[in-house]
Amino acid sequence: MDDWKIERRKRGCAGCGREFESEEVHTSAIRFAGGRFGRLDACLRCWETLLPAGGDAPFSFWKTTAPKRGKRNLEDVRAMVEFFKKLLERREADPLHEKVLYLTSLLLMRKRRVKAAGTRSSGGRTVLLLEKAWDGEIVEIADPVIADAEIESLKSELERLFDCDVGAGELARP
């Protein structure tokens, strides 16, 4: 059955190696080589050069579009990191402060500025252990157990603060 498995779309051109731009039209093909079916993705410029001269045409080919990718705004990510640093410096026992710190840490995990280094339990609450990318220090962030009804308002506030779109999946618990 493995003979029929075909790899997923590649992120770049098999010819020149350039990564496809967001929503770039390119050609994908299925060809039979070495006793197996394989996928080939190529930009329009390289497509003709990748076809073998005089034979072994692809089994099937089509024009397709690379997935839409949002551009990262590095200034927004830097602002989020600075905000996170200030939240850590001025830790308060205020429940809103804890919730914003926790949600900001989840967003920074998605942006790969902090990474999970484990969890522990403290007083019946889960505590995330996070490694900061900029200095390698491990910080502890308690899960404040945010009610579903409250997530929407906190999400809106973070979007306003960082002028970004926070998707529902971005605030998913790890």
From the list 159, 164, 120, 163, the residue with the least C-alpha distance to 143 is 120
Same-domain check for residues 15 and 82: no
Convert the pLDDT of each residue in 16-34 to its tens digit.
Answer: 999 999 899 999 998 877 7
- Determine how many CB atoms are found less than 10 A away from the CB of residue 30: 14
Average pLDDT, the chain: 82
- Give the structural domain span for 123: 74-164
For residue 172, is it within any domain? no
Nearest residue to 57 via CA among 27, 26, 25, 33: 33
Instruction: Average the pLDDT over 152-156 and give the result.
Output: 80
Picking from 134, 100, 130, 102, the residue whose alpha carbon sits closest to that of residue 118 is 130
Other Cβ atoms closer than 10 A to 113: 18
Domain total in the chain: 2
Q: Is the pLDDT of residue 66 over 60?
A: yes
